[in-house]
Amino acid sequence: MTDFRDRVSKLLKTCTKTFGEDCLLLPKRGGRYNIKGIFDNDYEAVDPDTEQVISSNQPVLGINLHEIPIEIRPGDQLKIRNLTFNIYEIREDGQGGASLLMHKVEHGKRIKKKKD
């Protein structure tokens, strides 16, 4: 008999295969891993306290944790569509999937310091 988690994993695998795209995971502790995930740059969330919809153009990558060879941690980076992102939060869904909340990294830009 197939376990519920196995069924969810198969569903996540099918969705990732159909809608996912190739990404390069660059862990802070070293290494390079080719992974696949569903990239979404139009993210919307609901505030659990007010139940209000909060919209943001925050990049998110949906992944199947069963297909990732290492533990992803905040501070790791991803290259998607020739852009680099820092992962700052991992939201597991409790069923084997996770959403990686990210910030885009701007390479080549200098941060100007304000003079007092």
User: pLDDT tens across 79-108, in order?
Assistant: 999 999 999 999 998 888 999 999 888 764
In a domain, 116, yes or no: no
Domain holding 75: CATH number? 2.40.10
Could you tell me if 103 and 86 are in contact, meaning their C-beta atoms sit under 8 angstroms apart? yes
Q: Which residue has the tokens 């306290």?
A: 49
The residue among 8, 5, 14, 3 whose CA lies nearest residue 36 is: 14
The structure tokens listed for 50 are 């007010």
Q: Within a domain: residue 113?
A: no
**pLDDT computed for residue 116 by the predictor:** 47
CA angle at residue 73 from 72 to 76, to 5 degrees? 90
State the residue range of the domain holding 9: 4-104
Q: What is the mean pLDDT of residues 67-79?
A: 94
**Domain-embedded: residue 70:** yes
